[in-house]
Amino acid sequence: MDESITLHVDGRKRSLTVDTRTTLLDALRERLGVTAPKKGCDHGQCGSCTVLLDGRRATTCLTLAVAHDGAEVVTADGLAEGDSLHPVQRAFLDHDGLQCGYCTPGQVCSAVGMLAEAAAGWPSHVTRDGAGRVELTDEEIRERMSGNLCRCGAYPNIVAAIREVAR
Amino acid sequence: MTTELVTVDLLHFHAIGVPLERADGTIKVTGRAPYAFEHPVTEPVYLHPVQATVARGRVTGADTAAARALPGVIAVLTHENAPRMVSGDDPELWVLQSTEIAFRGQFVGAVLAETLEVARHAADLVRMEYENLPHDAELDPRRDDLYAPDVLNAGYPTDTAEGDVDAAPAAVTIDRTYRTPMEHNNPMEPHAVIALWAEPGELLLYDSSQGVHRVRGALATAFGLDPGRVRVVSPYVGGGFGSKGSAHAHHALAVLAAQAVPGRPVKFALTRQQMFSQVGYRTPTVQHVRLSATADGRLTAISHEVVEQTARLKEFAEQTAVCSRMMYTAPNRRTSHRLARLDVPVPAWMRAPGEAPGMFAAEVAMDELAVACGLDPIELRARNEPGTDPVTGRPWSGGRHLVECLREGARRFGWDPRDPTPGVRRDGEWLVGTGVAASTYPRHLLPGNRATVRYTPDGRYSVLIGAVDIGTGTWTTLAQIAADALEVPVGAVALEIGDSDLPQASVAGGSSGMSSWGSAVVAAARAFRARYGEGPPVGAEASAEAPAEPGGDFAADSFGAQFAEVRVNADTGEVRVPRMLGVFSAGKIINPRTARSQFIGGMIMGLSAALHEESVLDPRFGHVVNHDFADYHIAACADVVDIDAAWLEEVDPHANPMGSRGIGEIGIVGAPAAIANAVHHATGIRVRDLPITPDRLLTHGLL
Ligand code: FES
Ligand code: FES
């Protein structure tokens, strides 16, 4: 079964018809040619496909495109304006928070989403004091970024990059 | 035998040694770098495979009617209608050419469809019938059909023996069995390919590959094609760690499919689950290590005997015990490898094949010996330092700096003073300990590398070689080498890699890339300067091959020291690693920034192997049960706390013009042993089987 939907992707309005079984990730990658979000597992287990979906980080392999008619999607590509990088992206380069780069767009989107969550006072598993302001200690950053796997093992540099932006 | 060392004509280091930012950094943090599946193509066809549901047997029938009837399905391929291949020299690539099934999950069919969703749905509708034959998928070291392979991976001899291990004098003996599990490479980018076939015989592949020429050669042979008409393109590769070093069955299946729909690009990305049966894995090992020593810790005998598995379809013989041939001095020595040939997927390279599992057993055994002798483990290793390579009698290229690594690491880590008593440091519910292990990895130089330098109208130097960057930093570091070889700034170099239409290059494997490709780039740059001097005309071009081994007769190995602090939860058995440090001796470091990332990346993969990774193969069915990231846990951000790497400032004057030896693999070697040794120091429990999961501690007396 097909459905027509409209997505706003990195500031561009994109209308398309999708098989209702198509994930948001496949709609972006295979239908719209938006390949900044990566497919690492297709099961919500690795975080490579993370984008900002209506402002929040989301794994796009785990949701169907048809459920997001009208949604706003920001990918790592859209976080940068041309060659002018988002501060999180700049920090990833400064700290070499990547090797093969495959997990990286997802890490970057996840970090941007996570910083907003922390600023809004959302607690995490390691937050000692459940209410109020979250201090982004390294432990908090590691916990909040653990949905994004990196087989190259760039974690210490990713944490350093996020720490720099958070402070 | 000559032991003369020749000092090679080293580069003057200007760009080399500078911590340049990754050249491909911006396009990676923005997600703009195109990986294999992302190359824009028109009217793609999607492939979804059909996999065998028996571990051994024969296909007796294929009912594809329901699949073919589904709208959007273009074709269904099985052994009955697939195009014919020419060569089955590599049985792994001999796909849909016979009815034989050699392991569960083997490809027995493929659906080609207009969309991913339809292809996947249709693959489910294909009904295969099998004659099910009894299979054997259990590695048991007591089997009576173990065999000695002719030769091991990388060409090492299967067995060695010197002196008489059994008659060696021994005040202290360690005699233990260690086990390492099946592990899967799991690069973050699943193996993926886009294959385009044009009649009468031209093939284009966008591939996720560690070696474009290697894959081209394998497919040209298998399909009887002129290699000059096969092109493999891999500009960006999302990791590999060995699994993308060779052509695998999915390549062949994609080419068969492309031949079935000439002119249309076939897109095929393995799912994470499929990767557990299709693209290789680290073989499980059972390692019997025996160390004999004098009371003051001088080794009199080393024995390292390995049983591991291979596949009935194709042999892979991992060189697990070779590290024990050269690490320490001992007059009596014996190493051996025996294989069980099983009905399982084909094992292959995974980061530091041989050294990674072998040095786990060998370096835990050394720690056991240190405890038995009452010696500090660093001192024990220092006492057993060989002056020359025990295998060849030759000196080490660039020297052997293991003890310096150990001592420098001890200083930085704060090793001393250390109370060696196990199980006595407690911080609340946590038991705390520290451990050390040595690491080593050989310097490999692969033949068959050629590069071209061309002067372009914009006043830059194009440097062309079919190398690849799998996250190792090649885009950056090879340009640094080229810049110094041409004596120009890095910005004047325009590097082109990742395409088999570029000059021939060897695989990104065995930590050989920089040595092998870099040598070719330097040779081409020098040929260019020799012909054109400093003022070349536009279009000036020179090519050259990398010379064979330049530095004379030497042993070429890198060394390192790994330190770990662990905290073991006394109630749950959970192991945490708050701190790790590696100090390495690997010759000249081309780019300290990308090198540090590679070292710590290797160490983190070692931490992951130490604590998390195990592919559980159910021998009843022959498949890996935990075939995804939910059940095959790899270290996540929260598992990795304070990890750092350092190295000795050195130049290996015999290795190559860069003075480097390669760094991709040594970081993983020894890391699991350091953690296991720290766990012993923390708890008094000696875990000899990886991974060190809580159950192993709880059932060995933690509670
Ligand atoms: S691809 Fe979506 S979480 Fe892995
Ligand atoms: S950079 Fe390779 S997986 Fe993260």
* Residue B304 counted as domain residue: no
Q: What angle do CA B120, B121, B126 make, to 5 degrees?
A: 95
C-alpha B124/C-alpha B120 separation (Å) is 7
Give the 3-state DSSP-derived string for B288-316, with helices as H, strands as E and coil as C: EEEEEECCCCCEEEEEEEEEEEEECCCCC
CA B27 vs CA A101, B145, B481: distances in Å = 9, 52, 22
Q: What is the DSSP letter of A81?
A: B
Q: Could you say which residues of chain A have pLDDT below 70?
A: 130-131
Domain end call among A78, A101, A127: A78
Chain segment B293-308, per-residue pLDDT in tens: 999 999 999 999 999 9
SS3 B609: helix
Chain segment B129-149, per-residue pLDDT in tens: 999 999 999 999 999 999 999
CA A86 vs CA A71, B259, B442: distances in Å = 22, 44, 41
Interface of A with B in 34-53 (CB under 8 A): 35-43, 45-46, 48
C-alpha B268/C-alpha A30 separation (Å) is 12
CA B132 vs CA B62, B110, B125, B442: distances in Å = 15, 21, 20, 44
With an 8 Å Cβ cutoff, are B187 and A26 in contact?
Answer: no
* Residue B17 counted as domain residue: yes
If asked whether residues A8 and A67 sit together in one domain, one would say yes
Please state the atom number of ligand 1 nearest to the C-alpha of residue A44: 3
- The pLDDT assigned to B633 comes to 98
- The pLDDT assigned to B173 comes to 98
Mutate to test the interface with A, among B22, B24, B27, B29 (most CBs of A within 10 A): B29
Please state the atom number of ligand 2 nearest to the C-alpha of residue A152: 2
Chain segment B477-516, per-residue pLDDT in tens: 999 999 999 999 999 999 999 999 999 999 999 999 999 9
Chain segment B5-18, per-residue pLDDT in tens: 778 899 999 999 99
Please state the atom number of ligand 2 nearest to the C-alpha of residue A40: 3
Chain segment B157-195, per-residue pLDDT in tens: 999 999 999 999 999 999 999 999 999 999 999 999 999
Cβ burial of B423 (10 Å; 0-12, 13-18, 19+) is middle
Domain end call among A17, A49, A78: A78
Do the beta carbons of residue B467 and residue B516 sit within 8 Å? no
If asked whether residues A68 and A95 sit together in one domain, one would say no
The CATH number that applies at residue A34 is: 3.10.20.30
Query: Token pair of B77, please?
Result: 């391929």
**Interacting residues of B306 by C-beta distance below 8 A, sequence separation 6+:** B285, B286, B287, B288, B320, B321, B335, B336, B337, B338, B358
* Residue B230 counted as domain residue: no
How many independent structural domains does chain B possess?
1
C-alpha B477/C-alpha B485 separation (Å) is 12
Do the beta carbons of residue B179 and residue B691 sit within 8 Å? no
- The pLDDT assigned to B2 comes to 46
Rounded to the nearest angstrom, the distance between the alpha carbon of A105 and the centre of ligand 2 is: 10
pLDDT beyond 70 at B703: no
How many independent structural domains does chain A possess?
2
**Interacting residues of B656 by C-beta distance below 8 A, sequence separation 6+:** B8, B445, B515, B518, B519, B522, B550, B551
Task: Give the pLDDT mean for B658-681.
Answer: 98
**Interacting residues of B79 by C-beta distance below 8 A, sequence separation 6+:** B59, B62, B96, B97, B98, B99, B108
If asked whether residues A15 and A55 sit together in one domain, one would say yes
Interface of A with B in 53-92 (CB under 8 A): 75-77, 79-80, 83, 85, 89, 92
The amino acid that residue A4 corresponds to is S
The CATH number that applies at residue B481 is: 3.30.365.10
Task: Map tokens 């099934």 to a residue.
Answer: B101
- CA A125 from centroid of its chain's CA atoms: 20
If asked whether residues A63 and A18 sit together in one domain, one would say yes
Q: Whose CA is nearest to atom 3 of ligand 1?
A: A44
Domain end call among A78, A101, A132: A78
- Return the sign of the alpha-carbon dihedral for residues A8, A11, A14, A20: negative
Site residues for ligand 2, CB cut-off 6 Å: A 98-104, 150-152, 154; B 188, 239, 471
C-alpha A55/C-alpha A58 separation (Å) is 9
Task: Give the percent of chain B with pLDDT over 70.
Answer: 99
Q: Crossing angle of helices B592-611/A155-166, nearest 10°?
A: 110
Q: Which domain holds residue B491?
A: 3-31+446-545
pLDDT beyond 80 at B1: no
Chain segment B535-584, per-residue pLDDT in tens: 999 999 999 999 987 666 889 999 999 999 999 999 999 999 999 999 99
- A17 lies within 8 A of chain B by CB: no
Q: What is the pTM of this model?
A: 0.98
Chain segment B601-622, per-residue pLDDT in tens: 999 999 999 999 999 999 999 9
**B307-340 b/e with 16+ CB inside 10 Å = b?**
bbbbbbbbbbbbbbbbbbbbbbbbbbbbbbbbbb
Chain segment B346-399, per-residue pLDDT in tens: 999 999 999 999 999 999 999 999 999 999 999 999 999 999 999 999 999 999
Closest Cβ–Cβ partner in B31, B187, B271 for A75: B31
Q: Which domain holds residue A54?
A: 2-78
**A65-80 b/e with 16+ CB inside 10 Å = b?**
bbebeebbbbbbbbbb
Do the beta carbons of residue B60 and residue B99 sit within 8 Å? yes
C-alpha B628/C-alpha A94 separation (Å) is 32
> Is B665 among the catalytic positions?
yes
* Residue B357 counted as domain residue: no
If asked whether residues A10 and A72 sit together in one domain, one would say yes
If asked whether residues A159 and A124 sit together in one domain, one would say yes
* Residue B268 counted as domain residue: no
Task: Map tokens 């098989």 to a residue.
Answer: A19
The CATH number that applies at residue A162 is: 1.10.150.120
DSSP character string of A149-164: --TT--HHHHHHHHHH
C-alpha A134/C-alpha A113 separation (Å) is 14
Rounded to the nearest angstrom, the distance between the alpha carbon of B184 and the centre of ligand 2 is: 16
Q: Which ligand is in closest contact with the Cα of A102?
A: 2
* Residue B368 counted as domain residue: no
If asked whether residues A124 and A162 sit together in one domain, one would say yes
